[in-house]
Amino acid sequence: LPLVVATLGAAGAPPAAAEWGCAVVASLAATSSEGRRAVALAGGAAAVCGAMAERRASPRLQEAGCRALANLASERALVAPLAHAGAIERVCAAAKAHAGDARVAEEACAALANFAVGGAVPCQRIYEAGGGLAALAAMGSHGKRGVVLQEGCAALANLTQHAAAAEQLAAAGAGRVIAGAMSEHLGNERLQIFGVLALDNLGYSGLDLDEQSEASGGGGGGGGLSSVAAARKAERLKRTQLDVAA
């Protein structure tokens, strides 16, 4: 681990070496809570952020860096120190700079979803760095990629618990983008769950979706919004049944 951190922190290190270092950190952080804490104590988060800042033009390094930060941020206790190291800004910058790269978009959205679970402070930093709008843009750019959409919905579901972010995203048309993603990927359970949560946070009801569908000329023109309303009702029923069974 010290060698990996040193490689990431070395000025002028080849992009391939830095990418390897980020990938190793991502793997270690994915293993266990102990692995994530060991990486954090060794300065791995700061090293990853430094490598991402130095090599902003490399999409594969940004992808590996976002994955490493996403895995580290799955440990909620590490969200605050990660934010202090500038991880949120690095992920937002990667999402914006490589908006057309689906692999970067997926990992960036996953990282934002984990950061946003950390509470009001990280949500505010994501909002200020334009992370919510970047996630929304990623969903719009990669509408056929279910993995991007599910991580985007996860990011928006968590971020829209923050009032300012919810207001910003609602004004940017997040409701329609989320509903469209849910309609196109009805079999993706993770996407459906987070889509329901995000729409609820944005203040949409099934009736709202039906009205939008009718105003747009039916299910085809409205992005299948009425089918999304039905899916949301089914998801709510499923969740209620699980609660009762528990």
Residue 175 neighbours by CB distance under 10 Å: 20
pLDDT recorded at residue 221? 42
**Which residues contact residue 22 at a Cβ distance below 8 angstroms, ignoring those fewer than 6 apart?**
8, 48, 51, 52, 61, 64, 65, 67, 68
Nearest to 126 by CA among 171, 79, 172: 79
pLDDT recorded at residue 228? 57
Q: Report residue 103's pLDDT band, with 50, 70 and 90 as the boundaries.
A: very high
Whether residue 157 contacts residue 190, with contact meaning beta carbons closer than 8 Å, is answered with no
- Predicted model pTM: 0.84
pLDDT recorded at residue 15? 80
Q: How far is CA 63 from the centre of its chain?
A: 13
Q: Report residue 220's pLDDT band, with 50, 70 and 90 as the boundaries.
A: very low
What average pLDDT score do residues 155-166 get? 95
Over residues 119-145, the pLDDT tens digits come to: 999 999 999 999 999 999 999 999 899
